[in-house]
Amino acid sequence: MSAVDWRVEIVGQNETPDIEIAVDDAFADEGFELRVDDCTRISARTAAGVSYALATLRQLAPLEVWGTVPRQAVSLELPRVEIKDGPAFAWRGVHLDVARHFWSVADVCRFIDLIAVHRLNKLHLHLNDDQGWRVAIPSWPRLTQVGSRRRSSPLGHEDDGVDDDRVHEGFYSADDLEDIRQHADSRCVQVIPEIDLPGHAQAAIAAYPQLGNTDKQLEVWTRWGISEHVLNPGREALAFAGDVVEYVAGLFPGSPVHIGGDECLVDEWRQSPVAQEVMSENGFVDERSLQGLFTNRMSAVLRPEGHEAVAWDEVLDADVPEGTLIMAWRRPSKGVEAAERGFDVVMAPMNFTYFDWRNSDAASEPVSVAPVPFVTPWEKVYRFSVYPPGLREGLRHHVRGAQAQLWTEYISTRDHLDYMAFPRLCAFSEVVWGTHGALKDFRERLEIHLGRLGSLGVSYRPLDPS
């Protein structure tokens, strides 16, 4: 994704390079120093630091280097500067829902390129939900034979009750995910796979009815929202959760693995003889406690292989294994609760970081998950504080960073994804890097930066008149 046909050569000892890269252990993991002079020098400890220095160097260059059509660069004139920089937060993430609408390997890799330009370093892939299962599991083949195919989807808003009557399908093979992982790694982005259980499981239950709580044959859900159908807490369903998570984790060596845990409705468990028997065996008095069995099973298969377990904040309602990374999405106070209980947390509060919400209250905005007043303009994102209100100073070390979410019930095309992501991700990137300041100053920079995104073919949402 570059207009410049760079020719990279390592020069000899008696030759003068254009760019000199030095490894310096004095820097933090992602920190760097960039000095632009007759010879441009980059100092960093890691590949990520070098990558961010080169990204900074690119920002200093003319707009021509931001196109997508390669051209031979003879020379570039840059200002003489010295920049020493590094991020404030280690987790600077973006979530992409590939379950509600499937995204090709090429589209995911393009998105990785765009978040890497903004020095965001985590891509959270939401690989399953009620409306589709998107990763092949060899020991459970019906997950993709049945679960990856939805016969219809809502047309317009869910509440309109109109369907498109078009099949939507797709899934990733192990090779596909390896291609995505390697592409991300080359951009210093870590992929975080998510298998969301025990709720959001209707596609899995459609494939394997014995995992559910009803004798009725279910289909992959053709509605948005939250299905009432969840995994039963019996031995086979718990084993299934462990098997699937273990396999997917193996495709992403060393990565944290998200185990979901959100929006698990317990109505079926109240009526299920299996669930009630498991409750009795464990001495539970609240059906929500059953979710802890899944959290513990999935965490147990991840730990021996060196994977950190990540979960949505609902898991705090039941038993949570020590060391689980909590993703606080319902409200900022859930981040405070997690930290006070000794858990590290990634802040993802929906009122600031859910980019499936509308960009503005204008009637011209595309159909979104929530109506006005649930609006998140880029200005609001820029005012987001990663440290949640009410968090004691002594607990700030538990805040790993923050993450923006792109749920795709109402996002089905690349241009629409661009529109919902940018410029809000631009604002988010400065917040999590730690350099956000006056809104007026940022807007001036943003107006310039949108020209770069336009050169890259990004269908961003234009700024409203100031």
Q: Are 61 and 164 found together in one domain?
A: no
Contacts of 25 (CB under 8 A, 6+ apart): 45
Check pLDDT > 70 for residue 4.
no
Question: Which of 69, 85, 101 lies at the terminal end of a domain, its last residue?
Answer: 85
Q: Are 245 and 366 found together in one domain?
A: yes
Q: Are 407 and 337 found together in one domain?
A: yes
Calpha distance 34→98 (Å, rounded):
37
Instruction: Look up residue 333 and give its amino acid.
Output: S
List 124, 200, 229, 307, catalytic entry: 200
306: left (phi over 0), alpha (psi -120 to 50) or beta: left
Residue 112 has φ and ψ, to the nearest 5°, of -60, -45
- Nearest Cα residue to 291 out of 263, 315, 256: 315
Residue 409 counted as domain residue: yes
Is 263 assigned a catalytic role?
yes
CATH number of the domain bearing residue 261: 3.20.20.80
pLDDT tens-place string over residues 22-37: 999 999 999 999 999 9
Radius of gyration of the chain (CA): 23
Q: Are 181 and 312 found together in one domain?
A: yes
Calpha distance 406→82 (Å, rounded):
36
Residue 340 has φ and ψ, to the nearest 5°, of -65, -25
Residue 130 counted as domain residue: yes
pLDDT tens-place string over residues 282-299: 999 999 999 999 999 999
Check pLDDT > 70 for residue 236.
yes
Q: Are 49 and 144 found together in one domain?
A: no
Calpha distance 460→117 (Å, rounded):
15
What secondary structure does DSSP assign to 342-400, as a single string? T--EEE--HHHHBTTSBSSS-TTSPP-SS-TT-B--HHHHHT--SSPTT--GGGGGGEE
Q: Are 138 and 264 found together in one domain?
A: yes
460: left (phi over 0), alpha (psi -120 to 50) or beta: beta
137 or 71, greater pLDDT: 137
The pLDDT > 70 percentage for the chain reads 97
CATH number of the domain bearing residue 73: 3.30.379.10
Q: Which range marks the domain in which residue 257 is found?
A: 91-455
List 129, 194, 344, 418, catalytic entry: 129
Q: Are 186 and 80 found together in one domain?
A: no
What pLDDT, on the 0 to 100 scale, is given for residue 76? 79
Span 346-351, average pLDDT:
98
Residue 7 counted as domain residue: no
pLDDT tens-place string over residues 417-461: 999 999 999 999 999 999 999 999 999 999 999 999 999 999 999
Is 129 assigned a catalytic role?
yes
What pLDDT, on the 0 to 100 scale, is given for residue 69? 76
Largest CA distance in the chain: 79
What pLDDT, on the 0 to 100 scale, is given for residue 25? 96
Q: Are 58 and 117 found together in one domain?
A: no
Residue 464 counted as domain residue: no
| Partners of 191 in beta bridges | 123
pLDDT tens-place string over residues 85-132: 999 999 999 999 999 999 999 999 999 999 999 999 999 999 999 999
Residue 198 counted as domain residue: yes
What pLDDT, on the 0 to 100 scale, is given for residue 16? 81
Q: Are 70 and 123 found together in one domain?
A: no
Q: Are 190 and 292 found together in one domain?
A: yes
Judged on CB neighbours under 10 Å (0-12, 13-18, 19+), 412 is middle
Check pLDDT > 60 for residue 1.
no
Confidence tier at 77 by pLDDT (50, 70, 90): confident
* Residue 116 token pair: 């890497």
Residue 14 counted as domain residue: no
Q: Where is 203: in which H helix or E strand? A: helix 202-207
Average pLDDT over the chain, rounded to an integer: 95
Are the CB atoms for 244 and 140 separated by under 8 Å?
A: yes
Confidence tier at 3 by pLDDT (50, 70, 90): low
Judged on CB neighbours under 10 Å (0-12, 13-18, 19+), 60 is middle
Check pLDDT > 80 for residue 312.
yes
List 263, 317, 365, 379, catalytic entry: 263
Strands 91-97 and 40-44: unpaired
Check pLDDT > 60 for residue 48.
yes
Span 206-221, average pLDDT:
97
Query: C-alpha distances in angstroms, 39 versus 42, 61, 81, 183?
Result: 10, 15, 12, 30
What pLDDT, on the 0 to 100 scale, is given for residue 466? 83
Are the CB atoms for 257 and 307 separated by under 8 Å?
A: yes
pLDDT tens-place string over residues 315-333: 999 999 999 999 999 999 9
Calpha distance 454→66 (Å, rounded):
9
Judged on CB neighbours under 10 Å (0-12, 13-18, 19+), 324 is buried
Question: Which of 85, 109, 141 lies at the terminal end of a domain, its last residue?
Answer: 85
The pLDDT > 90 percentage for the chain reads 91
Residue 462 counted as domain residue: no
Q: Are 105 and 79 found together in one domain?
A: no
Give me the sign of the Cα torsion angle 365, 371, 373, 377: negative
What secondary structure does DSSP assign to 310-344, as a single string? EEEGGGGGS---TTPEEEE-S-HHHHHHHHHTT--
Residue 190 has φ and ψ, to the nearest 5°, of -100, 130
Q: Are 60 and 176 found together in one domain?
A: no
Calpha distance 2→57 (Å, rounded):
13
Confidence tier at 18 by pLDDT (50, 70, 90): confident
Question: Which of 42, 65, 85 lies at the terminal end of a domain, its last residue?
Answer: 85
What pLDDT, on the 0 to 100 scale, is given for residue 64? 83
| Partners of 135 in beta bridges | 172
Span 260-277, average pLDDT:
97
Calpha distance 131→146 (Å, rounded):
11
What pLDDT, on the 0 to 100 scale, is given for residue 2? 58
Confidence tier at 74 by pLDDT (50, 70, 90): low
Residue 393 counted as domain residue: yes
Is 95 assigned a catalytic role?
no
Count of domains in the chain?
Answer: 2
